[in-house]
Amino acid sequence: MIKPDGVERGLVGEIISRFEDKGMNLEKIRKLTIDEKLARRHYAEHVDRPFFSELLEFIISGPVIAMEWSGESAISICRNLMGATDPKEAAPGTIRGDYGIVVTNNLVHGSDGPESAARELEIFFG
């Protein structure tokens, strides 16, 4: 998913290109604005974290681009292209490393395993 900061900053094409250039296949794409109910479902694992209110406020702050990508080792390859969660620690050459500074505004979300991928695809694409 391209988060509200990535959309707002006009980085949609750039971010999609990084996954395409690597050899991933774009299967589905949808622009939507997440509401609080959907955010709580999507980020259910984080609702009790101290940073949740900030994360919630940010993720509902503007439109996002939800995507399904397929390909060999798609989950780990996409997470590697995204970089570390905190853009301060993300390596140059990664999306977060090249475009982010603040952990909340880290541009992209990616499923961290097959179960979360299935769960999140169901949320955004049914």
* Beta carbon of residue 112, minimum distance to Mg ion (angstroms, whole number): 5
Rounded (10°) angle between helices 74-82 and 12-22: 130
109 is annotated as an active-site residue: yes
| CA 17/CA 21 separation, integer angstroms | 6
Q: Which helix (H) or strand (E) holds 56?
A: helix 52-59
Stretch that binds ligand DAT, among 4-12, 24-32, 34-42, 104-112 (CB under 6 A): 104-112
CA angle, residues 118, 124, 22, in degrees to nearest 5: 70
Q: Which of 109, 119, 121, 124 binds ligand DAT (CB under 6 A)?
A: 109
Site residues (CB under 6 A) for ligand DAT? 46, 51, 54-55, 85, 103-104, 106, 109, 112
Site residues (CB under 5 A) for Mg ion? 112
